């Protein structure tokens, strides 16, 4: 029989960073009992409060200033938090640049906050994903703790959908140009849910650019070509110049134009 004390200990062992919502759900405690338990374990230096509703377990012998992985903090910043954009890129070990801002998806509006040198940025999903928020979301384990992370197919699309959260073209290219095991049906399904011609054009251009190294089937490119913008769009929304890639109806930069075989007009 599991005692109440053992129930808490087991939770802390398998949730090294946690928010109070999941603590109450997993341990079946609410209100005063939940608050009293968290205070008790905080005073005994078993756990430490990072911010409102967010705690970390303190490893034995660690200082009071101990900070867990920022990926874990981002992944537990909301009850429905999902690592995405540059955070997911870092989780998969695909990031080239060191980041200090960690974006995460949540359907609940919240403000960006900072812990130490790291910033945690909540991002609302597209309204088109209202009923498909968890599409392509996988459960991963980090420091014995379950977290939600977008799959690589959704990650690539999301990075090209919101470039301000991606690290830019070079970062995405370095991460994915040799990634040749993607599930194309899943990628296409996600783009279908997103319903964004501009994003479909960006993804199509990217896959066209790295078709050989990523083993992209011709039929995938043809499918995305049918979803491209009806009138020319800019790859970077805030960069209003460049060369027009006629196949994808996108204005691209000199950086992207290098070593491509498509025809461009200025």
Q: Tens-of-pLDDT digits for all 266 residues of the chain?
A: 456 678 999 999 999 999 999 999 999 999 899 999 999 999 999 999 999 999 999 999 999 889 999 999 999 999 999 999 999 999 999 999 999 999 999 999 999 999 999 999 999 999 999 999 999 999 999 999 999 999 999 999 999 999 999 999 999 999 999 999 999 999 999 999 999 999 999 999 999 999 999 999 999 999 999 999 999 999 988 777 789 999 999 999 887 887 454 443 33
Query: Tokens 């062992």 correspond to what residue?
Result: 13
Give the CA angle between residues 68, 70, 76 to the nearest 5°: 90
119 strand-pairing partners: 101, 114
pLDDT value at residue 260: 55
Q: How far apart are CA 61 and CA 196, in angstroms?
A: 51
pLDDT value at residue 263: 41
Strands of the chain (E only): list them. 17-19, 47-51, 54-57, 82-83, 101-105, 113-115, 118-123, 137-142, 145-150, 233-234, 243-245, 250-252, 264-265
108 strand-pairing partners: none
């Amino acid at each position: 029989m599991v005692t109440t004390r053992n129930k808490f200990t087991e939770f802390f062992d398998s949730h090294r960073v946690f928010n109070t919502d999941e603590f109450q759900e997993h341990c079946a405690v609410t209100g005063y009992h939940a608050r009293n338990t968290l205070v008790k374990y905080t005073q005994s230096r078993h756990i430490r409060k990072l911010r409102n509703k967010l705690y970390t377990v303190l490893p034995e012998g660690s200082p009071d200033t101990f900070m867990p992985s920022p990926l874990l903090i981002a992944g537990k910043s909301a009850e429905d938090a999902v690592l995405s954009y540059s955070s997911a890129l870092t989780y998969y070990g695909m990031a080239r640049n060191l980041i200090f801002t960690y974006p995460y998806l949540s359907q609940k509006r919240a403000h960006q906050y900072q812990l130490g040198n790291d910033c945690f940025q909540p991002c609302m999903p597209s309204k088109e994903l209202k009923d498909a928020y968890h599409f392509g979301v996988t459960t991963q384990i980090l420091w014995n703790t379950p977290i939600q992370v977008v799959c690589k197919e959704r990650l690539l699309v999301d990075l090209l959908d919101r470039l301000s959260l991606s690290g830019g073209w070079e970062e995405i290219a370095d991460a994915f140009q040799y990634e040749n095991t993607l599930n194309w049906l899943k990628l296409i399904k996600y783009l279908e849910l997103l319903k964004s011609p501009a994003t479909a054009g960006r993804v199509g251009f990217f896959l066209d650019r790295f078709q050989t190294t990523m083993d992209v089937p011709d039929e995938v490119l043809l499918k995305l070509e049918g979803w491209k913008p009806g009138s020319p769009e800019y790859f970077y929304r805030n960069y209003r110049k460049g060369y027009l890639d006629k196949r994808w109806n996108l204005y691209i930069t000199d950086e992207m134009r290098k070593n491509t075989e498509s025809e461009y007009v200025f």
